[in-house]
Structure 1
Amino acid sequence: MRTGPTGGIALVERDKEIEEAIGLILGTAPGERPMRPDFGCGIHEYVFAPGDGATAGRIAQEVRAALERWEPRIEVTDVVVAFDAVEEGTLYIDVHYTVRATNDLRNLVFPFYTIPSSEAGPESERPVPDGPASRARREAGAR
């Protein structure tokens, strides 16, 4: 905790605050917050997904959609998902964005951990992620 010039609690700088908000959005699965069940990012549906280009594309799409919805202070310019070549089950989500208030170009790398296929069990027992469509089916079934 930092103190400000008057001895009170110092507020986080704007850029740091935005980075923290992005991490919070990406780290929260939809349904995790009871009072705001639609808040978060659908990347958590991909914990058991295969580590391939199709999965990377779907994760990038989920990240872009969540940040465009929940973080109005930024404009997402690109999302790049890369699988770690050494550590199976680790991928890095590189978010490139512009801070609207300052037009400052920034990027943030968010590590995301999946269950490696060698540890996930038989493929027939793994959940099949399908992103927004699975959420829509769950919501329709809950009504």
Structure 2
Amino acid sequence: MAPVSAPDAALRFVHPDLDRGPEAGLVVAGDGRLALATGMLAIRQSILMLLSTTPGERVRRPDYGCDLHRLVFAPNDETTHGLAMHYVEQAVATWEPRVQVIHIDAHRDPHAEHVMQTELHYRVRRTGIEDSASFGFDLSGGGG
């Protein structure tokens, strides 16, 4: 197996709030090594990490992250959805140069009144392949 360069690979993880399934944390491969995420998975994982990071939280990169945290306790309405879309677009444009944003949508989750669902559709600049990432954001401050 050829070595993978840093921008094309990252340690693979399962985010407890963004991925489905009971396990969370780093993923261990069948051979006992830490698994790597490559290609489209690495980019998607990077985007989800970016959107779940609050600016000021990351050492040596105080501006890295997304301002979605500012929306906690905001009403789940069109104004809040518009702000969420703005924050997501701004963060991705600033911190994820591998992708071009195609479309962002935010709306109330039909199954949870306090949860805002956000969907990001993007194109990978190097390959032209389109993908999407979606995640729920709990506006009540309950974190789930």
TM-score calculated relative to the size of structure 2: 0.73
* Runs (4+) off by over 4 Å: 7-10
1:63 to partner: Cα distance: 0.1
Identity level (%)? 35
Measured on the aligned residues, the alpha-carbon RMSD in Å equals 2.1
Task: Give the SS at the match of 1:62.
Answer: helix
Relative contact order (alpha carbons < 8 A, sep ≥ 6): 1 or 2 greater?
1
- Name the larger-Rg structure: 1
Is 1:43–2:68 an aligned residue pair? yes
Structure 1: segments with no counterpart, 5+ residues = 120-143
Structure 2: segments with no counterpart, 5+ residues = 1-27
1:9 to partner: Cα distance: 6.0
The structure-2 alpha-carbon separation of the partners of 1:90 and 1:101, relative to structure 1 and needing over 3 Å to count, comes to same
* Rounded Cα–Cα distance in structure 1 between residues aligned with 2:110 and 2:71: 18
Residue type of the alignment partner of 2:36:
L
- Between Structure 1 and Structure 2, the one with more helix by share is 1
Residue type of the alignment partner of 2:108:
F
What residue is the counterpart of 1:2 in the other structure?
A: 29
1:86 to partner: Cα distance: 2.6
In the alignment of these two chains, the number of paired residues is 115
Q: Deviations over 1:105-140 (max 9, x none)?
A: 111112211117xx9xxxxxxxxxxxxxxxxxxxxx
Equivalent position to 1:94, from 105, 116, 119: 119
Is 1:83–2:83 an aligned residue pair? no
* Rounded Cα–Cα distance in structure 1 between residues aligned with 2:39 and 2:130: 13
What residue is the counterpart of 1:111 in the other structure?
A: 136
- Between Structure 1 and Structure 2, the one with more strand by share is 2
1:89 to partner: Cα distance: 1.2
Task: Give the SS at the match of 1:77.
Answer: strand
Q: Deviations over 1:51-105 (max 9, x none)?
A: 1101100110000000011001100111100111231211111000001111001
Q: Is the 8 A contact 1:3 1:9 kept in 2?
A: no
What residue is the counterpart of 1:19 in the other structure?
A: 44
Task: Give the SS at the match of 1:69.
Answer: helix
